[in-house]
Amino acid sequence: MEFSLFYFSGDGLKTQENKYNLLIESAKFADQNGFSALWTPERHFHPFGGLYPNPSLTSAALAMITERIQLRSGSIVMPLHNPARVAEEWSVVDNLSNGRVALAFASGWTLDDFVLSSEIHANRKESMWSGIQTVHKLWEGEQVELKDATGNTFKVRTFPRPIQRKLPTWIVCQSNATFIEAGKIGANILTSLLGGTIEEVAPQISLYRESLAKYGHDPKAGKVAMMIHTFVGEDFNTVKEQAREPFCNYLKTHIDLLENLAKNAGMKVNLEKFTEADINSLLRFAYEGWLKGRTLIGSKTTCMQMIERLKQVGVDEVACLIDFNPNCDAVMASLPYLKDLKDLCSLNQEKLVSLS
């Protein structure tokens, strides 16, 4: 099991210095302690996640303060961008990082975001797949046809040339169709438990492995990364209380997550009719629910149990979302425990290999 750090929750509303302190300091820690990657997202027009409008910018900054760790978009909303621009920007980052770029692509879902695009929201899936194909061609030095302002086509090749000849590619997947299509092109998978449980994601991972094999790819070579909220400490009950308020505040910004959790528990709720007391009660319920098999919030012992469950369904990497807690000092203090968990997983794997 590999471990990476994932960022998504930074508050872009506040006017203050050192907004990116957690990103920078945790990135340095991850680079120095054997983590596999850093994921920064693309978020628009909302204070939640508002620190991250462009992953190529954040990755360029991270390239200058790290030496070994892979720098990944988490993710690029492909229909919002010209593929040539994506190839150009990320080739710069690949050069700055000496070949440490990997890109995760998504089709997008928020209707408002598409004011940035000429693509029709309804066609975003098709636009994503065709855009990825064009980015790959440009990355590998091929010419592609683009249209000028008059509608005439001409051929272009993008610069600078990247360090890596092949672009490591991930697809953000939630639906069965996307898992299958990702396997068809031989891409890796980035998924989450935001919309379901491990038991619900397991068949989708199987579909992905089957698709890899069907289309001539090694089914064991494709990687599945699970984005998961993470805060690890010495004692489960202590960590549970430390994370309670920041996680509940996080859930308040994602009301749809609350509704999904209630639905999965067989409850019919209409949050528009809820009072503040009702919301707080639901938050307490939701937090307890998320602790049961949907997070890495806890001690090394309890989190190892979650890791084992993820391994059993074919997950290769945990993408640890750490910035749901805005307290930089608290998160940084928890990272050595996360490192110990990572090292324990590596040690257990080495023992299994030696026994075999």
pLDDT band at 70 (very low <50, low <70, confident <90, very high): very high
Domain span including residue 79: 2-233+297-355
Choice between 125 and 351, residue whose per-residue pLDDT is larger: 125
Greatest Cα pair distance in the chain = 67
pLDDT at 119: 83
What tokens were used for 169?
């590619």
Q: Which of 34, 107, 105 is nearest to 72 (CA)?
A: 105
Q: Which of 94, 93, 52, 95 is nearest to 76 (CA)?
A: 52
* Per-residue pLDDT reduced to its tens digit, 112-155: 899 999 888 999 999 999 999 999 999 999 999 998 889 899 99
- Phi, psi dihedrals of residue 245, rounded to the nearest 5°: -65, -50
pLDDT at 289: 87
For the chain, percent of residues with pLDDT exceeding 90: 75
- Decide if 278 is inside a domain: no
pLDDT band at 13 (very low <50, low <70, confident <90, very high): confident
d(C-alpha 39, C-alpha 37), whole Å: 7
* Per-residue pLDDT reduced to its tens digit, 212-260: 999 999 999 999 999 999 999 999 999 999 999 999 888 877 766 556 5
Give the CATH number for residue 48. 3.20.20.30
Within 8 A by CB and 6+ apart from 327, the residues are 246
- Phi, psi dihedrals of residue 230, rounded to the nearest 5°: -135, 130
- Decide if 52 is inside a domain: yes
- Decide if 259 is inside a domain: no
- Decide if 314 is inside a domain: yes
* Per-residue pLDDT reduced to its tens digit, 84-122: 999 999 999 999 999 999 999 999 988 889 999 988 899
Choice between 161 and 350, residue whose per-residue pLDDT is larger: 161
Total domains in the fold of the chain:
1
pLDDT at 351: 67
In this prediction, residues 302-329 reach a mean pLDDT of: 96
Rg of the Cα trace of the chain? 20
d(C-alpha 133, C-alpha 145), whole Å: 13
What tokens were used for 22?
């957690």
Least confident window among 94-98, 156-160, 279-283: 279-283
pLDDT at 256: 60
What tokens were used for 32?
């120095």
- Decide if 280 is inside a domain: no
Identify any residues that bridge with 59 across adjacent strands, giving them in sequence order. Answer: none
pLDDT at 263: 59
Choice between 268 and 237, residue whose per-residue pLDDT is larger: 237
Q: Are 285 and 223 in contact (CB under 8 A)?
A: no
pLDDT at 69: 98
What mean pLDDT, rounded, does the chain reach? 91
- Decide if 57 is inside a domain: yes
Rounded-to-10 torsion of CA 75, 21, 304, 238: -130
- Decide if 243 is inside a domain: no
- Decide if 217 is inside a domain: yes
* Per-residue pLDDT reduced to its tens digit, 282-313: 888 889 988 999 999 999 999 999 999 999 99
pLDDT at 257: 56
